[in-house]
Structure 1
């Protein structure tokens, strides 16, 4: 790797993202993707899901001058911005939505392999439909998380798909030759008969058009939540199912939905629009940072328990802290979580008195009252 690139990578940090053991700002996949990319000067580069800026700023340091970036997570955008300022490369790239305009005329795509095949499918459709006919798409990830299904997804959009040799437990899939006639198909919507709701999802949205069992358990318990509430927040809203249920059941309640995932926000807006619930405000926000302190009566939350492949509690704890900040004294946080996670103690510490409202063999619905 060129010395200029190494100098940039050495300066990168995760902040403001959470810190945990084995979580780094630059990983082996970042380095392999940059090493696999050829002749970066003069390329029209699209970077997708650069976690903290290694791919974007590495490409710039290697000589790329037209770099467009889409990061699903807001915290990734914030980390990239801070790292760009730290390395003197602010203004060297531009952000865009995950759509055909982002990929228009691109000659090189650098992407971290998503966990969901639908996320890769959406990327494949957009790149095949809008990129330069000579585009090279590089999708990198840890070997243990890559499957033959990823080759099949890329193969639906490109005529040539191959894989590099593994290095430091990472590998890159290489796709070339966009197939003619490929068109974007996201967001996709599916009717959930039990909920009487069309659930819409972009590829990277958690659970896609399915409604996970934890959310269903929380939905069943919600009629008892904060009966006098006038304001409510779906914190980490995903596809907007909880926000839709609240708004539909309580038309006099002002409902807001927030998520730091761009795919989640776009999906929630599509779900709510299909349900005729455009009055729900949907915001891309990290931990409800744009909402004022102490202004809400009710917060509902199905927090994540993964950061990438790592199972950690830090992401949930950040959401619990955010809920405590935006709730008024006496307001309620209704959360659902996997029984094996130690969330009850964190909820008592961060929010207030906590009890179980419902549970099954896998999940607990807890109610925490703001002190």
Structure 2
């Protein structure tokens, strides 16, 4: 244990609730391991630090030159806000690239949920970090599996799970293996003429998830009373909705936005693969916060129903409120969601009149009209 007070951390600007906290035991174990290892300043990289708990505890212990990668822009905001509140500094933010890892001898990782994301991270560390790099990855035991060890073993010769402690466990990997000439991501797959590209952290990978497919099927009959509509794919993921609409509506101005850097990189690759790189703008943003109020004629929305490893409707509700803000009066939001969720009530309250357009055994597609 360090003397750092994790309880002072907040998740803001991400969803906050009584049952959601900005740190867990895994963060503490990773920090303790790093301090015991005594890695010199400038040789530590941190990946997956949700709200800054690892980075700030290391900074509080006097370590400087920390390099940090957080996939979610909300996590990046939380780290900045928590740092300002605690008066801490001493790190630099990076994407998942060579600058993050060059010369790093210790990498601390909060294990991602997706094995593909873990594969991409492990390859990046073996590819760009120091030859003697040690990766210390941790997670909550209930979310860990032997498959994670197998993925790590593709990039490291030694993979050693540690004893569990307070429902968390660390895995220590060392002996970086040679990497293939080209990184394994993005992967790509074509669906009925639409090519989807995905980096490891993108939801559903290069597959077309069944919720998105349901919305795409319903959109075939979509027509707007606007000659050149302004369209926002809010929470775009790999960009399937934005790319499909842009291909069918060449006069539309389309923006695809997501809070995940992996999703944005994937959507950018998707646009390039479909000849849309110059037509569809892809941005990293929290709930379209950088887009003007009342600027969209149409919002396409497939909101998430998970926050990390837990089921929570908060992220979806934030996107519904964002859709209401972005739409002009009379504009439309087309939404797909798991039928058991109460999103239709939220759409009616925050956007306006909402009708069911289609329904499958698992999903509901709705059309909502922005009230004046």
Q: Same-fold call, TM > 0.5?
A: yes
Out of 175, 178, 184, the position equivalent to 1:177 is 175
1:289 maps to 289
1:330 maps to 330
Deviation at 1:44, TM superposition (A): 0.8
1:261 maps to 260
TM-score, length basis structure 2: 0.95
Which runs of structure 2 are paired with 1:288-327 in the superposition (5 Å)?
A: 288-327=288-327
2:25 maps to 28
Give the whole-Å Cα distance in 1 for the aligned partners of 2:330 and 2:230. 13
C-alpha contact (below 8 Å) 1:320/1:347 kept by paired residues:
yes
2:198 maps to 201
C-alpha contact (below 8 Å) 2:230/2:296 kept by paired residues:
yes
Give the whole-Å Cα distance in 2 for the aligned partners of 1:135 and 1:209. 31
2:360 maps to 360
Deviation at 1:226, TM superposition (A): 4.3
Deviations 1:93-141 (A, max 9, x none): 1111111221111011111111100100000000001111111111111
C-alpha contact (below 8 Å) 1:41/1:62 kept by paired residues:
no
User: SS at the partner of 1:94?
Assistant: strand
Deviation at 1:63, TM superposition (A): 3.0
Deviations 1:221-250 (A, max 9, x none): 113334224111100000001000010000
Give the whole-Å Cα distance in 1 for the aligned partners of 2:19 and 2:170. 21
Give the whole-Å Cα distance in 1 for the aligned partners of 2:268 and 2:42. 34
Out of 208, 212, 216, the position equivalent to 1:211 is 208
Which runs of structure 2 are paired with 1:1-371 in the superposition (5 Å)?
A: 1-3=1-3, 6-7=4-5, 9-37=6-34, 38-42=37-41, 44-90=43-89, 92-183=90-181, 184-192=183-191, 194=192, 196-229=193-226, 230-278=229-277, 279-371=279-371
C-alpha contact (below 8 Å) 2:41/2:66 kept by paired residues:
no
User: SS at the partner of 1:204?
Assistant: coil
Unmatched segments (≥5 aa) in structure 1:
none
C-alpha contact (below 8 Å) 1:68/1:95 kept by paired residues:
yes
User: SS at the partner of 1:273?
Assistant: helix
Deviation at 1:253, TM superposition (A): 0.7
Give the whole-Å Cα distance in 2 for the aligned partners of 1:362 and 1:266. 29
Deviations 1:268-291 (A, max 9, x none): 000000100011000101011011
Give the whole-Å Cα distance in 2 for the aligned partners of 1:31 and 1:264. 28
Deviation at 1:172, TM superposition (A): 1.0
Give the whole-Å Cα distance in 2 for the aligned partners of 1:96 and 1:217. 36
Give the whole-Å Cα distance in 1 for the aligned partners of 2:116 and 2:202. 9
Give the whole-Å Cα distance in 2 for the aligned partners of 1:228 and 1:209. 33
Give the whole-Å Cα distance in 2 for the aligned partners of 1:43 and 1:191. 42
C-alpha contact (below 8 Å) 2:195/2:274 kept by paired residues:
yes
Deviation at 1:332, TM superposition (A): 0.5
Give the whole-Å Cα distance in 1 for the aligned partners of 2:243 and 2:27. 38
Deviations 1:303-348 (A, max 9, x none): 0000012211111010000000010011000010001111111111
Give the whole-Å Cα distance in 2 for the aligned partners of 1:109 and 1:368. 46
C-alpha contact (below 8 Å) 1:188/1:209 kept by paired residues:
yes
Deviation at 1:40, TM superposition (A): 4.0
C-alpha contact (below 8 Å) 1:44/1:65 kept by paired residues:
no
C-alpha contact (below 8 Å) 1:307/1:315 kept by paired residues:
yes
User: SS at the partner of 2:345?
Assistant: helix
Give the whole-Å Cα distance in 2 for the aligned partners of 1:305 and 1:323. 16
Give the whole-Å Cα distance in 2 for the aligned partners of 1:212 and 1:131. 34
C-alpha contact (below 8 Å) 1:201/1:239 kept by paired residues:
yes
Give the whole-Å Cα distance in 2 for the aligned partners of 1:64 and 1:170. 24
Unmatched segments (≥5 aa) in structure 2:
none
Give the whole-Å Cα distance in 2 for the aligned partners of 1:182 and 1:243. 32
C-alpha contact (below 8 Å) 2:123/2:179 kept by paired residues:
no
TM-score, length basis structure 1: 0.96
